[in-house]
Amino acid sequence: MAEQVNSLDELNQAVSGTAAGLDTETPREPVRDDLGRAYATGKRKDAVARVWIRPGSGKVTVNGKDVNTYFARPVLQMILKQPFSIANVEGQFDVTATVKGGGLSGQAGAVKHGVSKALQLYDPSLRAALKAAGFLTRDSRVVERKKYGKAKARKSFQFSKR
């Protein structure tokens, strides 16, 4: 009976990852290419952003244009700056992004998601702050599809009794 309890304890330890010889917390390694850049893909609604970051002066380029030209609204520019302010690395990285699909708001969210993921890959110590702010999670909300027999996704045609 004692042998059985012992083996159950060992089994529970092995499942939970606390058994001897198993390291539960392995440090993350930075992921960078030959040019010293980190790459990540960000998504929001129907927009997909490919984002590269590298150490620099804080220059942000989206689809070959300056960020102030591409995202003219201050709210969208603020959305792009959020990951840098949360990680306390404003002006330390140059960002190059290409975005396709969706509208400007979705594209700004996609670039923000991509920048957050790339920052975390470039410097794994920033992961905790970015994750706590919710920037590493893809916002899964998308437009609901239109159903047959309906005017829109849920709106019905006007009811007429006669």
pLDDT tens per residue across span 46-95: 999 999 999 999 999 999 999 999 999 999 999 999 999 999 999 999 99
Query: Cα(14)–Cα(117) distance, rounded to whole angstroms?
Result: 31
**Full-model pTM:** 0.79
Domains of the chain: 30-133 (3.30.230.10)
Measured CA distances, 81 to 6, 44, 70, 116, 155 (Å): 54, 16, 14, 10, 37
